[in-house]
Amino acid sequence: MKITIFGTGYVGLVTGTCLADVGHDVLCVDVDTDKIARLERGELPIYEPGLEAMVRHTVVEGRLRFTTDAAAAVAFGTLQFIAVGTPPDEDGSADLQYVLAVARSIGEHMTDYKVVVDKSTVPVGTADKVHAEIAATLAARGLQTAFDVCSNPEFLKEGAAIEDFARGARIVVGTESPRVKTLMRECYAPYNRNREKLIFMDVRSAELTKYAANAMLATKISFMNEIANLAERLGADIEQVRHGIGSDPRIGYHFIYPGCGYGGSCFPKDVQALARTASEIGYRSELLEAVEAVNKRQKTTLFSKLSQAFDGSLTGKTVALWGLAFKPGTDDMREAPSRTLMEALWAAGARVRAFDPEAMAECRRLYGERDDLALVDGREQAVSGADALVICTEWKAFRSIDFAWLKAQLATPVVIDGRNLYDPEAVKAAGLLYFAVGRGESL
Ligand code: UGA
């Protein structure tokens, strides 16, 4: 099948490459000429395990191509995926200008039937807006060419995107058109061989499904963080509570890890956008507002614990940070709890010495050269002589630590663990002051 993908960001690139990998002919289009030139040389704008090799072999085999030519891109595929960004507006609602610009571009160039597939996470009602935009652009050209718009939200996790694309739980398609159903079935047939994964529904339900999934997952995390904060003050251990509740299959063990707050490009943005959609239709979603508020507060927990450990005086202290990315397996620092911590530390006059296995370049890009930030080559260099260690991301390399060694490295033996990686007894036995999240220790 010939497929066009608008947008070579995270979602567009993963979608295009995976579809090319299973045999489709894919043309990816972007307005960023520099990005396209780099992609043509095999240089990826993002880090995602396995993606680079897949891009390389699909390009060599001729099934994945890149262009900045919108006319050629519209002429190419029967399916026209829209996978451009929907950054939050100042008020938290999703900014649709890029999505609608693609819609106009499709309307300006199309000469035969197209299925426009909304892949970006867009508010309920966007497919109707995309439809109206294309129809108006066609009408301005004096045309009434047939086309359909459907919603096909992505459920990719950064760091596991290729696996999620190929072996995801479901493929949601919002359409009521039999013609679109047939084409989307053909597109996803390679992933649908062992069991029926396609779930067809109406377009608004598909759009809401995406937000509902992310909001539910974010709610689970904020709920656990709320209980962790209670546990801390009640002298209970959230990790034991987690095991206790997870064993009930109605609750389950997935996605109930407490920590220093959720980050990334999806949960914060989508929870806010859904709350905003609700308020626009005159419904105040107290639950979504609480999920967001609890998370905002949770991101400040590492700083409060540190500050209390040093009696409120962090001026001149050097704090070692293990992990900068918002989660392991990515170099993405969008909305990362590490950023809230670093910015608070700098404001308090402390210095940061940080190590992350993937996100160092991203951190340099975000914060540039500054005297109070040292990016070092390994976990050892980060802690050597530091006044405290804070763990922000649960990378594998941080899971197994010789605590006696760690104690010897630190100038003051303070360890703040934002991901509950260690057995508190073992850490304390080495003479370290250990403060995790929700583990019976109220700092
Ligand atoms: C999330 C969803 O998991 C995907 O299903 C969805 O497709 C994607 O958003 C999207 O909308 O595109 P992602 O943002 O890549 O994926 O990352 P997650 O693995 O979901 O983690 C999000 C944040 O939650 C991280 O900061 C992580 O540390 C935190 N988290 C996760 C917890 O604090 N506790 C948990 O139990 C799980």
Going from N- to C-terminal start, the domains of the chain cover: 2-201, 202-443
Pick the residue whose CA is nearest to atom 20 on ligand 1. Answer: 157
CATH for the 2-201 domain, from 3.40.50.720, 3.30.70.360, 3.40.50.11540, 1.10.260.40: 3.40.50.720
- Mark the ranges of the chain whose per-residue pLDDT is less than 70: 441-443
Q: Is 255 in the pocket of ligand 1 (CB under 6 A)?
A: yes
DSSP string, 348-378: TT-EEEEE-SS-HHHHHHHH-S-TTEEE-SS
Which residue from 124, 245, 166, 192 is spatially nearest to 184, judged by alpha carbons?
Answer: 192
pLDDT score at 416: 98
Whether the model clears a pTM of 0.90, i.e. scores above it, the answer is yes
Pick the residue whose CA is nearest to atom 24 on ligand 1. Answer: 262
Q: Is 267 in the pocket of ligand 1 (CB under 6 A)?
A: yes
Q: Is 392 in the pocket of ligand 1 (CB under 6 A)?
A: no
For residue 156, report the distance from its CA to the centre of ligand 1, in Å: 9
Q: Are strands 414-417 and 318-322 parallel, antiparallel or unpaired?
A: unpaired
SS3 label, residue 382:
helix
Q: 202-443: what fold? A: Rossmann fold (3.40.50)
β-sheet with 433-435: strand ranges across: 373-375, 351-355, 318-322, 388-391, 414-417, 433-435
pLDDT score at 47: 86
Same fold, 2-201 and 202-443: yes
Q: Is 221 in the pocket of ligand 1 (CB under 6 A)?
A: yes
pLDDT score at 441: 63
Active site residues: 266
pLDDT score at 417: 98
Q: Which residues have C-beta within 8 Å of that of residue 179, sequence separation ≥ 6?
A: 115, 148
Q: Please choose from 162, 214, 421 the residue to mutate so as to test ligand 1's pocket, defined by most ligand atoms within 8 A of CB.
A: 214
For residue 186, report the distance from its CA to the centre of ligand 1, in Å: 29
Q: Is 259 in the pocket of ligand 1 (CB under 6 A)?
A: yes
